Amino acid sequence: MSLMNMKIRRIKKEDIGKLQKFYKSNGMKNAGSIGDKFLLDCIDSKLKNYIMFLIAEVNREIVGAVYFIDQGGLITIWSLAVDEKYRKNGIGSELVSKGLKYFGKKKRNMISVITNLDNYASMQLFKKQGFLKEKKKVRLDKVLILDKDKF
């Protein structure tokens, strides 16, 4: 599968319907909580400085998506998803890398990932990105922290 035409960019207003459809067709259980108004606020309001949605698209079709929340010193990665037909092509890694590069310029020193421990592919992706399991009570072992010396 050729991904030469893949583009990674922030979402725009015209992407909202396609993004909602993408989430639902890829089994995102929390897609309903990512409403149109919230997405619009992330594009048009002050939220765009704190929440960054990135999409990967091939031939104008959304094939991957992720969003990052900037809470000052802590960045959290939420809802990384890649279309089943496009998995194992590095799309998830590219989405995460692009976000990490952006937030690296903002000099954030801690990044957490919310992921399901049953999701082996997701765990492997974040491990390759340098994330380590955090052993704290907060979110138990579902929170992964990027070692700031590796970032």
Residue 105 domain boundaries: 7-146
State percent of the chain over pLDDT 70. 77
CATH of the domain at 105: 3.40.630.30
Task: Name the domain count of the chain.
Answer: 1
Q: Is the pLDDT of residue 80 over 50?
A: yes
Q: Is residue 105 one of the residues assigned to a domain?
A: yes
Q: Is residue 51 one of the residues assigned to a domain?
A: yes
Q: Is residue 151 one of the residues assigned to a domain?
A: no
Are 9 and 55 within 8 A, CB to CB? yes
Q: Is residue 2 one of the residues assigned to a domain?
A: no
Q: Is residue 75 one of the residues assigned to a domain?
A: yes
Residue 137: band (very low, low, confident or very high) from pLDDT cuts 50, 70, 90: very low
pLDDT of residue 83: 92
Give the span between the Cα atoms of 135 and 15, in whole angstroms. 37
